[in-house]
Structure 1
Amino acid sequence: LLDTDMHCVNMLAILTTILMISSAYAVQWPAGSYTLVKAKTGCPTGWHEGWRKQDNEDNNNKNELTTGHHFYGTFGSNMKFYYCTKGQQTTSGTQSWPNGNYCILRQGISCPPGFQTGSIYWDDEDKNNSNEKDGILPSGEFGKNTLINYCCRSDGSYSTKILLPTEKPFYLLRFTSSPCQQIKGMIATEEIIKTDDEDNNNKNSNSGSHPLNDGGRNNRLYYCYYH
């Protein structure tokens, strides 16, 4: 009986050690400050949140979202997206973002190491514009029109699986690759958003290194949902 008890104690000690080691080596979010679009499952623990409502075109609105999407927000003839922002002080790993082909949203005046910056501009509805915002948002301009700054990189192959946390689903954006960047231990599903932007004298634009946007007068972005 004593031998059995000792065996159980030893096994428990070994299992506890294994758990401690695996949690110590669990993949953490990269260092620095940046923003991701919020999924229905919520933000990573300790991150800041905010939202932006865009007043899209009123006349014969044709907003489009992938059926069965996983974005957290309100989506009809106007779009209300929520954002998850990791601050400099938020607990994370010390590693940089891995090489690959993808984009994140910029937070502050510069991108994390390895990324190039760029932006996308939405010419929102001109008439009785009802754009709103609250909380912590990505770097950009959020008045009667919307400009969001991004951080993009193409220094690795999309097919090389990179390491990022797998505890909870999240979004990245496509840059120049097709399909989505692959992440170890997660399935990537593409989800597309097309906003019906201002029809009259439309001023939509892109600059620098920005996520894939082939919509022209109506911005169309390609998100990668990891689950």
Structure 2
Amino acid sequence: MQQLFPVLDHSLQIPVTWPRGNYGLMKTAAGCPGAKVSWQSGWRHYDTEDLGSNNGYSSGISHFLAGSFASDDIRTDFCIKTISSTTTYDGLWPRGSYCLLKYRNCPNGFRDGSDGQSSAAMILPTDRPFVLMRYGGKCQTVYGMSVRDLYVHWDDDDLFNKDSASGMHPDDTGDGDNHELHFCYYQSSGHGGIIG
């Protein structure tokens, strides 16, 4: 008589963590991304055009991005990861088409600018919403996350405006005197699939 033994599935499971390094992400209305990282919070105030200001935003922007979005002033909030590595599983930022907020230097494995395709899905923690800055005209695909493309339009000073940009930087669809940056808001795709 043949004896049968149960087949055991010994799947290897590795936790998904935020990549190692020091960097920043825009803060969402739900707060910093979490995932067992101690994020430091900060904000930046922009005193935009006072007379006939034309600041503009995606509909319902305050439901997605933390900050203050008025017709003549803008404040954006951000989260900074100041401890480079929090677990032994932390890897490098994957190749893709996106931007981070720089904190002192770029994280290891990341250079000033994009180095991949936005359609190649990255694996990042999905426990809380987070924001990456758009680069290359499309939001980066993130496995298990739906994405919404948001924008903030800064109506900068009309007189003596010295706005400029050089090198690789997030998508800016504003004109020479004003900036319009695009932010990719990610939330678990269990919240209703692809949006945007």
What TM-score does the superposition give when structure 2 sets the normalisation length? Answer: 0.81
Q: Which residue of 2 aligns with 1:102?
A: 98
The structure 2 residue matched to 1:28, chosen from 9, 13, 17, is 17
- 1:214 CA displacement: 2.3
Q: Which letter does structure 1 place at the counterpart of 2:106?
A: C
Inter-CA distance 91–44: structure 2 relative to 1 (3 Å threshold): farther
Distance 2:157 2:111 in 1: 28
Q: Secondary structure at the match of 1:207?
A: coil
Q: Which residue of 1 aligns with 2:128?
A: 168
Alignment of 1:50-69 (within 5 A): 50-69=42-61
**Rg: which structure is higher?**
1
Alignment of 1:188-227 (within 5 A): 188-215=147-174, 216-227=176-187
- 1:89 CA displacement: 4.9
Distance 1:89 1:40 in 2: 24
* CA deviation vs aligned residue, 1:144-174 (integer Å, no higher than 9, x gap): xxxxxxxx21x22111111111111111111
Q: Which letter does structure 2 place at the counterpart of 1:81?
A: T
The structure 2 residue matched to 1:49, chosen from 35, 41, 44, is 41
Q: Secondary structure at the match of 1:171?
A: strand
* CA deviation vs aligned residue, 1:163-211 (integer Å, no higher than 9, x gap): 11111111111111x3211000000110011101011011111121101
Distance 1:94 1:40 in 2: 26
- 1:88 CA displacement: 2.5
Q: Which letter does structure 1 place at the counterpart of 2:147?
A: A
Is it true that 1:71 corresponds to 2:65 in the alignment?
yes
Q: CA RMSD in A?
A: 1.9
CA contact (8 A) 1:47 1:90 kept: no
Alignment of 1:82-101 (within 5 A): 82-89=77-84, 91-92=86-87, 93-101=89-97
Q: Which residue of 2 aligns with 1:156?
A: 116
Distance 1:48 1:184 in 2: 26
- 1:26 CA displacement: 2.3
Structure 2: which 5+ runs fail to align? 1-9, 188-196
CA contact (8 A) 1:174 1:222 kept: yes
Q: Which letter does structure 2 place at the counterpart of 1:29?
A: W
- 1:81 CA displacement: 1.0
* CA deviation vs aligned residue, 1:62-117 (integer Å, no higher than 9, x gap): 10010022111111020111110001356254300001111011001x21234333
Distance 1:115 1:59 in 2: 41
Q: Which letter does structure 2 place at the counterpart of 1:195?
A: W
Distance 1:100 1:164 in 2: 12
Q: Secondary structure at the match of 1:81?
A: strand
Identity %: 38
Equivalences, count: 171
Distance 2:55 2:127 in 1: 31
More strand by share: 1
- 1:223 CA displacement: 0.8
